[in-house]
């Protein structure tokens, strides 16, 4: 996967990337506030802006199948490579699968308890439904290619992935080719994400124009519930695991990683802290081989925050559109997300595409509610990234303990502050 193979970027290039992400983040926030204001002040105008949100959702639908195909094919290749390193790789992958499934299930449980989106009564965009004709809107919507069915794409991707895996070295040129295609797909995804402020503006204006303060309250409830669920997952689930297995305290670990959390919070991406997490996990006493395998692989396969986000957001959309999912559909969605979420952190917006893929595979009529999620997605991105990052830090310590490749005395001394991390050594190694 792209994340696992990244090398730390130069400082100047990193700064440039941060600036671009920062501007996108600010633009989406401004668009959401402006859209909500227009929806409250001029409801009719707000509802008339709905095609902006519909157009953005159509662009997301267009890119779903290529994203899923590339991530699944390359993901299977990554699993094969990770598994060949022996006990560490196999144990890490088993742990990642278990925790991702647990996080997805937790999101479903919380979503069923709080029922986010109740009372919004969002209307789906249906291109086949007779409606008042608007030549300009119809023209621009016709320019966006139709979407490719997701489930057949997933099946083909699995077959291609396993076929290439079975080919061994002779299949590597094809994998490299798909990796190059993935870069193009992700670049297109980034281009689409730069239109997100416009889509969020139209979607939020339309839903607030139709339902007033109820929409703002429902979105606030979803964001609050998501943040609370992530906190519970980190403190209770990961904290208990860490204490039982290693005897270490989760709050001491959080304090040790405080500078990385600040970096992630400012960029809304855990990728920016990857080199620092590797260095700090080695300093805390985990052996280099375990860190070298667990951390990069976890960045693609251990996405606990993203898993919680996927299931809670899916339930929000179904409830907001008054089309609740039954238990069977929720379980089917969970199984799909377990597979499709691998690699969802590869690029900004890929998580959004994965959510859209899950909805399209199980309840295509729910895709019309995606526009609202686009508006609040950025507000949940920090919690998502922080939870993913913490999950990988805890996973590294757990795998180290299970493989007897961690110095717990060093870990306790580091986390207690007796042996602080040397920032100067990190700067030297990165240069």
DSSP assignment of 235-273, as one string?
IIIIHHHHHHHH---HHHHHHHTHHHHHHHHHHT-GGGG
pLDDT of residue 302: 81
Q: For residue 87, is pLDDT > 60?
A: yes
| Among the listed residues 46, 50, 28, 47, the one whose alpha carbon sits nearest the alpha carbon of residue 37 | 46
Q: Does residue 48 lie within any of the structural domains?
A: yes
Q: How confident is the model at residue 236 (pLDDT cuts 50, 70, 90)?
A: very high
Question: Given pLDDT bands bounded at 50, 70 and 90, which one contains residue 421?
Answer: confident
Max mean pLDDT range (56-65, 167-176, 276-285): 276-285
Three-state DSSP state, 69 = helix
- Taking the alpha carbons at both ends of the chain, their separation in whole angstroms is 24
Integer Cα distance of 428 and 431 in angstroms: 5
Residue 268 counted as domain residue: yes
What tens digit of pLDDT does each residue of 1-41 get? 333 333 344 434 444 444 465 677 788 788 888 988 998 89
Residue 254: CATH number of its domain: 1.10.3860
The Cα 126–Cα 138 span in angstroms is: 12
Q: How many helices (H) and strands (E) does the chain have?
A: 20, 0
CA distances from 344 to 186, 212, 216, 218 (A): 11, 33, 27, 26
Asked, for residue 386, whether it belongs to a domain, the answer is yes
Q: Give the integer Cα–Cα distance in Å for 37 and 201.
A: 10
Tally the C-alpha atoms within 13 A of residue 122's C-alpha that lie toward its C-beta.
36
Q: Please name the residue that has the structure tokens 């069923």.
A: 112
Backbone angles phi, psi at 406, to 5 degrees: -135, 140
Mean predicted confidence (pLDDT) in 341-364: 68
Residue 29 placed within a domain: no
Q: Range of 308's domain?
A: 34-430
What's the average model confidence in pLDDT over 318-341? 79
The verdict on residue 415 lying in a domain is: yes
**Residue 11, pLDDT score:** 39
In this prediction, residue 342 carries a pLDDT of 60
What would the two tokens of residue 272 be? Answer: 């920016």
Report the candidate in 362, 367, 366, 358 with the shortest Cα–Cα distance to residue 306.
Answer: 358
Using left for φ > 0, alpha for ψ between -120 and 50, and beta otherwise, residue 117 falls in left
Number of domains comprising the chain: 1
Q: In 167-325, at which residue ranges do the beta strands (DSSP E only) sit?
A: none
Are 88 and 399 in contact by the 8 Å Cβ rule? The answer is yes
Domain contains 238: yes
The total of other beta-carbon atoms located within 10 Å of residue 187's CB is 11
The sign one gets for the Cα dihedral 205, 207, 211, 212 is negative
Q: What is the pLDDT of residue 122?
A: 66
Asked if residue 157 belongs to a domain, the reply is yes
Task: Give how far Cα 277 sits from Cα of 16, 251, 303, 375, Å.
Answer: 21, 17, 15, 30
Residue 17 lies in a domain: no
> Dihedral, CA atoms, 63, 66, 72, 75, nearest 10 degrees?
-90
Give the model confidence (pLDDT) of 200-235 as tens digits.
Answer: 888 888 888 877 787 788 888 888 899 999 999 999
> What's the pTM?
0.72
Q: Residue 427: is its pLDDT beyond 60?
A: no
């Amino acid at each position: 996967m792209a994340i696992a193979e990244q090398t730390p970027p130069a400082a100047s290039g990193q700064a440039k990337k941060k600036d671009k992400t920062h501007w996108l983040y600010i633009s989406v926030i401004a668009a959401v506030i402006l859209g909500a204001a227009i929806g409250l002040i001029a409801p009719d105008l707000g509802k008339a802006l709905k095609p902006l949100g519909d157009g953005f959702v159509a662009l997301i639908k267009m890119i779903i199948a290529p994203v899923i195909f590339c991530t699944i094919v390359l993901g299977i290749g990554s699993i094969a490579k990770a598994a060949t390193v022996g006990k560490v790789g196999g144990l890490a992958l088993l742990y990642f699968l278990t925790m991702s499934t647990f996080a997805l299930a937790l999101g479903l449980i919380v979503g069923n308890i709080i029922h986010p989106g109740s009372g919004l009564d969002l209307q789906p965009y249906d291109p086949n439904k007779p409606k008042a004709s608007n030549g300009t809107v119809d023209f621009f919507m016709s320019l966006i290619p139709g979407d490719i069915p997701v489930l057949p794409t997933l099946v083909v991707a699995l077959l291609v992935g396993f076929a290439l895996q079975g080919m061994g070295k002779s299949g590597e040129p094809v994998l490299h080719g798909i990796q190059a295609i993935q870069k193009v797909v992700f670049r297109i995804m980034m281009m689409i994400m730069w239109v997100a402020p416009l889509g969020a503006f139209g979607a939020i204006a339309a839903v607030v124009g139709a339902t007033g303060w109820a929409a703002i309250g429902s979105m606030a409830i979803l964001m609050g519930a998501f943040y609370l669920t992530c906190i519970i997952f980190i403190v209770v689930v990961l904290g208990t695991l860490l204490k039982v297995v290693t005897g270490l305290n989760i709050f001491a670990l959080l304090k040790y990683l405080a500078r990385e959390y600040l970096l992630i919070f400012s960029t809304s991406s855990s990728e920016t802290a990857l080199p620092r997490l590797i260095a700090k996990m080695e300093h805390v006493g985990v052996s280099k081989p375990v860190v070298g395998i667990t951390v990069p692989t976890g960045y693609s396969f251990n996405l606990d925050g993203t898993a919680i986000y996927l299931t809670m957001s899916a339930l929000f959309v179904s409830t907001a559109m008054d089309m609740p999912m039954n238990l069977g559909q929720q379980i089917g969605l969970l199984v799909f997300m377990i597979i499709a979420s691998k690699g969802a952190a590869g690029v900004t917006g890929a998580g959004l595409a994965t959510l859209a893929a899950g909805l399209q595979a199980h309840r295509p009529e729910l895709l019309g509610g995606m526009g609202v999620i686009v508006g609040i997605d950025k507000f949940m991105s920090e919690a998502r990234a922080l939870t993913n990052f913490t999950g990988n830090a805890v996973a590294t310590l757990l795998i180290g303990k299970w493989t007897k490749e961690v110095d717990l005395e060093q870990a306790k001394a580091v986390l207690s502050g007796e042996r602080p991390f040397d920032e100067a050594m990190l700067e030297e190694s990165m240069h």
